[in-house]
Structure 1
């Protein structure tokens, strides 16, 4: 009989999912083609085939295969592959339109908290689709809609950190505390006990192992009101697997029979002690069946209290004569009565065989029914006729929950006794004064009312009050510790974990937001509040290095990038910034070594080619550097930093038109790349287009308002346009941002001198002399300032220092000194 088509399709589909989950994409593509040929009309077959192509990097095939199913809107997975392929192929409008048309398919879906090692969601949910839609809108230059999509994605799922990064990179106004907070819906998403999946179609398949574990845990939860029930369950769990079911059941029944009898004797003993030494005579005979019934229903109706006999009689309590306990070895230190073995052998012939706890058979002896037994079920040993009948042993009643001390050659102990003996705690040996037979021994009243008693043969002292009160064995406590926590406790744990993660995300997001807005000091402070383990992650180290790089603190930036290389030596992202840091520090050897490492590791990465270009630029080979930067832009046309470096090399070669073209390409790749605006401003300034230069400098300063160099460039242009007061304001703002920038303070002092503010100029120049004592221009400007203040001797001294520091400026210094001498001669002639 031929197999059904549905069965073949189902099996092929399972094989494709198997290979996709195991990252075996070639096998997944092979069987996806078989599946599509077997069931060509199914949209899921097209989805799996397109997904296999997409995972292999064949974006065009994935786009074309998923187009029919995506256009019909019949399969959400096919829609997802089609939209992702549209983004990769830069066909943004098609991806946007298909997601907007099928909004009813993905709106309202949430898979947050439904993923684990065994459960998967085959289709995306609303936050994921919104994030992709925001990326499509951003690439399509619709920033308003992109910001809206990213914000909605973060509202639904605060773990969409790429949406937050996109908002920061776009320069949107972001409030970190409002985005990363714990809400009831977020808690319910991870609390599987209280929140079922939003879509019944996404219900995860039950795992048989999980169900089995739940059933076993449910069986272990017993009624804690009766500790004996827990003790029975614990003893039952420790039964060896070699025992049969019947033997295990009989062992448990034998153990419980002694427990039942012990509880009965305790109740009767307390009643007898309260009423005096009165005696109650039970019925003369009791059948074995009645005794079994009374023992099995002890919880409903307690059996009759045992009778108290005289010492001469050896009557047996019916509750114990009905079914004696399993065969046990004699207690250590006691003598076995003569003739007991022969009596047991004779009675074995007339007694029905019962299963033993160790898998064997045993028979109740007839002689045992004629002997009096203790509370724990041990027979009272017969004494010699020459001795007086002594009182009943106290140890039998007081140690009903403790195992009997057996000899090495005695029979096998019961399971309950073995388990209890293994968990028994050793007591310190009692002193000799309290041993049996000593004159100093003083024993309190026992439960049965006997005035005198003996201690156990083992020499252990027992408190009667504690002996009569049943205690929970250690197995009961172990059972409590193994019980699963209640659902409320799990919910509290989930909420606490979510709060910890949200607090971590707040600190990380605050640092990234400050870094994207070039508030670098705040970014460093935010990242410094993270736990130490989080600070050592590659992403945080890269952000810290970038923050110090933007502040022109290249030595500090180098430290973080070195740590980044140690932690993640294969990381390529942000290596172009590290290479620029080494370029500013003039580390030729380190930069060459880094370039060789990156090129050998990733020949096709734009970061490696940028690093190699910086290495050639440092050795003053602009042609080789330009080839490397162009190769980087060919590998990634959206890599704005490579275009900017290319423009800088063109400026060094005085190729201004090519430099402007490179800067424009950088701006088209990234609208907020302020370095390109700065480069265009410098080109226009060199060309004498001061208005265009100021516009580009202001655009760069708007993106990066904390950069003192950009503000100083604006002041330079204003100064050249003879706007001295505006230039002075710009220089003052730049010195506030960078107080130790000597160049900026020098320009500020020069502006003060130009507008006649001599005191302010003198103050700035004195500070500048301490910052740069070996700078000739500083002393030359001080000399000119002293000329205006009339301190001609100080002016001559600083002119002389400037001439000594910079002999090339001798002509200017001589002219200044000659003008000073002319003024002196003029003053002398006027006085004559």
Structure 2
């Protein structure tokens, strides 16, 4: 009985793996070795691919394709000099093999010599029977060079050679988007759809271009056509839901997102968006249910934890909010958005030491918003940590050198510490930047604001003739 190609491949693979387990030596023809190696590479089993290549070359030392697999693995492991030497030896024997030029181009690409890679790929293009793959590789090299016009041109040629190459289609649209040619992208996609009217990927991309142009009515129509072309296309339902949200059609958006839950395992994104829609509709309990499902589905999605925390903050249940933000921090202690909420919640609960820790962590993680510096300063003042407060303010001043809010606080701290010369200096700076912000002094340092010398400086600024 004759085996089908697929059965033959499986039989070869089973024999090879049986050979490895028993340490016996079986003979395979070179094409069988190629299929085995290709299978392992596709499945990311590099060590088995290397074993198969080694054994293959031992049985077929002159097999060009096996040598090319060996070279490909050397390139993957960044052993470029070894790969290049083997390619040079192979080139002397087979100057018309396009794969030699492709692998040589791969080496140049790894070395960031993309123009040399393109020259070799152009040579491979003259020799190959599979133009679309080589055209796509040339397009990628132009992408590395950030030459988006040429990249776009080659990806278009790739689609002309093989209109089922959706990765090339995505790359064409990426180039259009980078060049901000959204109208041109729509024109190109419409031409493509004239030839392939039921291509769901193209309709999906048309919809996304209309979203960028804020033409939501046409975007919805495009996503509907994508769904007509493939009623299991999850991406189209999700994009349609996002547009419906923009149009404030929250019930329709929920319906679109809900369909995706029945097509595959629920995505945390869909659960989050359904929760957000219920929140907009005032269905707080339902919103919370979906936010909770969202973090159960994906505990690493920070937007889910933030949605739950913000829900409880809105209804002023700060203890519950603190419970959930603590859970979030136990999963990801380097998330600046978590620390900001942790700080604000503790501040609302008058747990000032914990709040100060939260704001300090947010700053350490790169959140340099002026509000973070100022709120931490105000907490440090409440805690009587005046030296830490001034250090915090001077750090803030490096980012916001002409901030009256920083200057008035520095003035208040120095006057409070009886360092009047420094206090006067910063008070005058504050008045110079924003005189109406002097109320900060009154709110945070009422005893300083009531000092005669301070009132005189403020009065003199308001009436220089006095």
Structure 2 match to 1:160: 43
**C-alpha separation in 2, matches of 1:182 and 1:107:** 9
Indicate if the aligned counterparts of 1:752 and 1:758 stay in contact, CA closer than 8 A.
yes
Structure 2 match to 1:41: none
Structure 1 match to 2:62: 487
**C-alpha separation in 2, matches of 1:617 and 1:496:** 51
Indicate if the aligned counterparts of 2:210 and 2:219 stay in contact, CA closer than 8 A.
no
2:394 matched to 1:763?
Answer: yes
**C-alpha separation in 1, matches of 2:110 and 2:315:** 44
Structure 2 match to 1:479: none
The structural deviation recorded for 1:159 is: 4.2
**C-alpha separation in 2, matches of 1:529 and 1:709:** 38
2:77 matched to 1:194?
Answer: no
The structural deviation recorded for 1:800 is: 3.6
Residue in structure 1 matching 2:279, options 647, 651, 659: 651
Query: Are the structure 2 counterparts of residues 638 and 827 from structure 1 closer, same or farther at C-alpha, using a change threshold of 3 Å?
Result: closer
Provide, for residues 749-795 of structure 1, a one-character-per-residue CA deviation record: whole Å limited to 9, x for no partner.
4444444333123224424535xx7xxxx645653443333344455
Alignment of 1:493-642 (within 5 A): 493-503=68-78, 562=177, 589=214, 596-603=221-228, 604=231, 605-642=233-270
Indicate if the aligned counterparts of 1:640 and 1:670 stay in contact, CA closer than 8 A.
yes
Indicate if the aligned counterparts of 1:650 and 1:656 stay in contact, CA closer than 8 A.
yes
Q: Which has the higher contact order (CA 8 A, sep 6+)?
A: 1
Structure 1 match to 2:360: 732
Aligned pair count?
Answer: 332
Query: Are the structure 2 counterparts of residues 489 and 529 from structure 1 closer, same or farther at C-alpha, using a change threshold of 3 Å?
Result: closer
Q: Secondary structure at the match of 2:214?
A: helix
CA RMSD of aligned residues (A): 5.6
Indicate if the aligned counterparts of 1:685 and 1:693 stay in contact, CA closer than 8 A.
yes
**C-alpha separation in 1, matches of 2:110 and 2:68:** 27
Structure 2 match to 1:660: 288
Indicate if the aligned counterparts of 1:796 and 1:817 stay in contact, CA closer than 8 A.
no
TM-score of the aligned structures, taking structure 2 as reference length: 0.52
Query: Are the structure 2 counterparts of residues 490 and 798 from structure 1 closer, same or farther at C-alpha, using a change threshold of 3 Å?
Result: closer
The structural deviation recorded for 1:657 is: 1.5
Residue in structure 1 matching 2:412, options 775, 787, 797: 787
Which consecutive unaligned segments of at least 5 residues does structure 2 have? 21-27, 80-108, 115-135, 145-172, 190-198, 416-423, 456-466
**C-alpha separation in 2, matches of 1:614 and 1:650:** 14
Alignment of 1:248-259 (within 5 A): none
The structural deviation recorded for 1:821 is: 9.2
The structural deviation recorded for 1:183 is: 7.5
The structural deviation recorded for 1:644 is: 0.9
**C-alpha separation in 2, matches of 1:817 and 1:745:** 15
Residue in structure 2 matching 1:708, options 332, 336, 345: 336
**C-alpha separation in 2, matches of 1:602 and 1:497:** 40
The structural deviation recorded for 1:679 is: 1.8
The structural deviation recorded for 1:188 is: 3.0
Provide, for residues 553-573 of structure 1, a one-character-per-residue CA deviation record: whole Å limited to 9, x for no partner.
xxxxx978935997x977869
Provide, for residues 521-579 of structure 1, a one-character-per-residue CA deviation record: whole Å limited to 9, x for no partner.
xxxxxx99888677976xx99xxxxxxxxxxxxxxxx978935997x977869x99x97
**C-alpha separation in 2, matches of 1:736 and 1:571:** 46
Query: Are the structure 2 counterparts of residues 670 and 654 from structure 1 closer, same or farther at C-alpha, using a change threshold of 3 Å?
Result: same
Alignment of 1:203-242 (within 5 A): none
Indicate if the aligned counterparts of 2:294 and 2:304 stay in contact, CA closer than 8 A.
yes
The structural deviation recorded for 1:650 is: 2.9
Query: Are the structure 2 counterparts of residues 600 and 491 from structure 1 closer, same or farther at C-alpha, using a change threshold of 3 Å?
Result: closer
Q: Secondary structure at the match of 1:602?
A: helix
Query: Are the structure 2 counterparts of residues 763 and 571 from structure 1 closer, same or farther at C-alpha, using a change threshold of 3 Å?
Result: farther
**C-alpha separation in 1, matches of 2:440 and 2:110:** 51
More helix as a share of residues:
2
Which consecutive unaligned segments of at least 5 residues does structure 1 have? 1-9, 22-43, 45-75, 78-103, 129-156, 162-178, 196-485, 505-526, 542-557, 804-811
Indicate if the aligned counterparts of 1:633 and 1:642 stay in contact, CA closer than 8 A.
yes
The structural deviation recorded for 1:612 is: 2.4
Alignment of 1:334-483 (within 5 A): none
Residue in structure 2 matching 1:675, options 279, 303, 307: 303
**C-alpha separation in 2, matches of 1:623 and 1:502:** 52
Indicate if the aligned counterparts of 2:339 and 2:362 stay in contact, CA closer than 8 A.
yes
Residue in structure 1 matching 2:450, options 800, 823, 830: 823
Q: Secondary structure at the match of 1:650?
A: helix
**C-alpha separation in 2, matches of 1:707 and 1:818:** 34
TM-score of the aligned structures, taking structure 1 as reference length: 0.32
Query: Are the structure 2 counterparts of residues 662 and 634 from structure 1 closer, same or farther at C-alpha, using a change threshold of 3 Å?
Result: same
Indicate if the aligned counterparts of 1:690 and 1:721 stay in contact, CA closer than 8 A.
yes
**C-alpha separation in 2, matches of 1:194 and 1:503:** 26
**C-alpha separation in 1, matches of 2:331 and 2:174:** 27
Indicate if the aligned counterparts of 1:651 and 1:659 stay in contact, CA closer than 8 A.
yes
